[in-house]
Structures are given as C-alpha cells and as structure tokens.
Chain A
Amino acid sequence: MSEARAKDEARTRVDRVLRVLLPIAVLALGVVVWELLVRVGRIPPYVLPGPRLVFSTLISDWAVLGASLLVTLTTTLEGFLLAAAGGVGLAVLFNQSRLIEYSLYPYAVILQVTPIVAIAPLLLIYLPQQAAVLACAWIVAFFPVLANTTLGLRSVDHNLADLFRLYGATRRQVLWELKLPAALPYILGGLKIAGGLSLIGAVVAEIAAGSAGAGSGLAYRIVV
C-alpha cells in the first residue's frame, strides 16, 4: 500500500514540475523560431523586429515605457474596481426593486453591445482625457459583473429562501445572510472576466486618445 502511495506522490510531483516547465519550453521555442524567421527572411525591423531588438529597446526606453505602463495598469485597476462596485451595486439594486430593474436593465445591455471604439472618441470630447479612459474601462468591464451577480442573486436555493421566510427574516437579512453569500461564486466569476475586459477598455480608449493627439498610456506610446 505504501508503495502505491509513494508512486502516487512521485507522479503528482512530476506533474507539478511539468506544469511549470512545459510553458517555459514553449516560450523559448517561440522566441527561437521568431529570431530565426527574422534572420533567415531578412525581415526589416520596421515590419517585424527580432526578439533581441525588442528586449534591448525595452531596457533602453524603460523610463518612458515603464511610466506609461504604470499609467495604463493604474487605469485598468481603477476601472476594474469601479466595475466591481458598480456591477455588484446595480445588481443588488435591481434585485431589490423590480421597477428599477425593468427601467434600467435594457440600457445596461445596450451599453454592453455598443462597440467601445465608437463611444471612446465621444467620451474623449466630453470628459477630461484621464476620466474618459477610465469611463471606457468601466463600461467594458462592469457588464459581466452585473450579469453574473444578477444571475447569482436569483439562483438562491428555493428551500433555503422558504426557510428564511419561515423564520421571519427581514429583506436585509435575506440579502446579507442568504442572497449575497449564495451569489459569491457567480460574482467572482464575473470579476474574473471584468479584469481582462478592463484592460481592453483602457487600451482601446488610449488608442483613441492617442490618435486624437493626447495621452500618456502604454497603448498611446505604441501608436505614436
């Protein structure tokens, strides 16, 4: 029996090492193929720079690029936090009042399906540049949080809801003790999607801002 267990343990250890090593190997292979393509095909750097040139530029221009990266990441994080607060907040509001849900939910959907590239230039006109970029990140990121939280708040076990009713729970108690804990896995799922989308929103807005001749984020640097 102990032999079988030792075998099992050895297998999981190998598995853990492979999980780290294999992606690194694929990365190395990719870089080598990239370098070879550039060298063998004699591709000029303005079409496709080789990995060595990219790396050295990254170091020599770090002062500018690093600062821009920080700006973009800060915007992404802020957009994400606002999306989390806004998405969960709106979903709770919708859950508490059907009238508010009926009034606003369609517009939340419309906001979601409107391409962000179309809204970004307008926002840049109406708002200060930094606020506009943040607004774009928020618009793209908040909907998955809203949709998932709404679904989670509705997915409460009927019997548990009955139990709360039986013991005369208040609306507040039902929300805090039952609905929000039950919705938590859904909320986290929404946040996971929102993180990536917030970055996309920020980058798209920066590109729009960059082509309008203003900006300081990473995407703007790349455009210019």
Chain B
Amino acid sequence: MPADPSASAAPVVALKRVGKTFANGVIALERLDLDVRPGEFVSLLGPSGCGKSTALRIIAGLSEPTNGTVEWHEAEAANAAAPRRIGFVFQEPTLMPWATVAANVRLPLKLAGLEPSAQARVDAALARVGLSSFAQSYPRELSGGMKMRTSIARALVTEPKLLLMDEPFAALDEITRFRLNNDLLALWQSLGKTVVFVTHSVFESVYLSQRIVVMTSRPGRVFTELLIDAPYPRDERFRTSADYVGHCRQVSEALARAIGATEGP
C-alpha cells in the first residue's frame, strides 16, 4: 500500500542544492532541493523548459549535475556498482523498431547478462500491462497506448524500486491517457514502487500524485509543494469530484504564481 508521503522515512534519493548549466550557458536548474521518499508517488509540475526533465535525468544518472549532490539511501548506495535499480519511461515509447515487443521488454535483462531467467520475468512484465498476447508483435503494429505500455513493461522488468517517468502520456489522446493513468495507479499500488512523474498537466498530476512539486523555470527551482491527500484507489469518481476540482484549482494557482515569479521583474 502507498506510504504516507509526509512520513519522515529516509529518502530513497535526495537532490541537494543541485544546479545544472548546459554547455551553451543555459541554466536549467539552480539550487534544486528534492527528497524522494520510499513508496511515494511524487510529480514534478512546471511549464516546459523548467528543468523538470533535466532533474529526472540527473536522478537517473544520465546527466551530471554541475553543482550540488545526488544522495542515495545507504541500501541503494551499497550496490551502486551495479546499474542502479531504476526504471525510466521516456516521453516517446522509445522502442527498438526491429525487435518484437517481448525482445524490447527483455532488453534490460539482456544488457545485464540475465538472459537465462529472462523469459518468466518478461512474461510477467507483459502480463502486468495487459500485453501478453502481443509478445510477438512488432512496435509498428501497436497503437500509441500499447507502445507506451510496452515501454512501461520494459521499465518494470528489472523490478526497480524507483520508477522515473518523463511526461510519458503527453503524446497520447485523452481516452488512452485516462486509461493509462488508472493502470499506472493500479501498478503503483500493487507493486509498491516509488514513482517520480514529470508532467506539465495540472489535472494529471492531481489525479495521480500524493505530492506535487511545482517548479519555476529558468532557472528551474522548487517553487512550492502541495500534498494531495485524497485516498487511493482513485478512479473516475475522483476525477469528477469536487475534491479533485478543488485540488486542481489550488495547484493551478500555485503554477500560475510560479510562472509569474519567473516572468516578474
């Protein structure tokens, strides 16, 4: 079951005064502090260009911070030599077009040299996202939503503790996005992962998250944090409830202030 985000458990990973300046001089992040607590569903919300994707890439180790540090919980740090137990879902499905769905999902295990035990884990991951009958299909035969499910299955196949998602549903139509939102929440509740979800949608972030971190842009920094205390499981009833609308208004106002704070003098 989802942990209480306000609990004072040691963070899985903590960004301490992290800054990132790109080679072209653009300051993407400045003094960003962010704690990710075990088992929580936290969203990074902000206008495009606020560095939220950069923050996610720094957590994943795909990008090095210019200053500041990324601190992992001791248990994670102990096996830091092995590829960190992270799953990453990109904005695009990012599948290999020449490989079947099963082969795409198997990739992380293959790269880690875990072929022998792979088949059962691939089957399990595909079953979790409801794609068992499409294992031998190629990505071009799938709809946008199914490609994204494949991408999520691939992220889950190594059984990571931490799942990083970079606007994964931004390119999908609304109906598909709502369905995947529900499926993602169900996965999160049953698997007990920690999820860091980057989005620019107020509605999506309120629907999914326990905690929303609102960011300002250029330079990217935490503007404020909001807790969404609505209970799980959340479903379509929650999506149309007054509670949901109230949270959306609150988050929208915070986002507007965050944007105003940047554009002001």
Contacts and interface: CB of A to CB of B under 8 A. Distances in A.
Interface of A: 157, 159-160, 162-169, 173, 177-178, 181-182, 184
Contacts of A181: 96, 98-99
A157 B97 CA distance: 11
Contact of B111 (A157, A159, A173, A184): A173
B83 A168 contact: yes
A164 B61 CA distance: 12
B110 A163 contact: no
A159 B92 contact: yes
Contacts of A166: 60-62, 83, 86, 88
A163 B91 CA distance: 12
A160 B111 CA distance: 13
B98 A159 contact: no
A65 to B, nearest CB: 44
A160 B96 contact: yes
A52 B25 CA distance: 75
Interface in B64-114: 82-83, 86, 88, 90, 92, 94, 96, 98-99, 107-108, 110-112
Nearest to B164: A166
Contacts of B57: 162
The listed residue with most B CB atoms (<10 A of its CB), out of A159, A162, A165, is: A159
Contacts of A182: 98
Contacts of B88: 162-163, 166
Q: Across chains A and B, which 3 residue pairs bring their CB atoms closest together, nearest first? A: A168-B83, A159-B94, A167-B111
Interface in B47-62: 57, 60-62
B110 A177 contact: yes
Nearest to A181: B98
Given A168-B111, A173-B111, 8 more contacts: A160-B94, A160-B96, A162-B57, A162-B88, A163-B94, A163-B107, A166-B61, A168-B82
B83 A159 contact: no
Nearest to A174: B111
Nearest to B61: A166
B166 to A, nearest CB: 9
A89 B99 CA distance: 24
Nearest to A168: B83
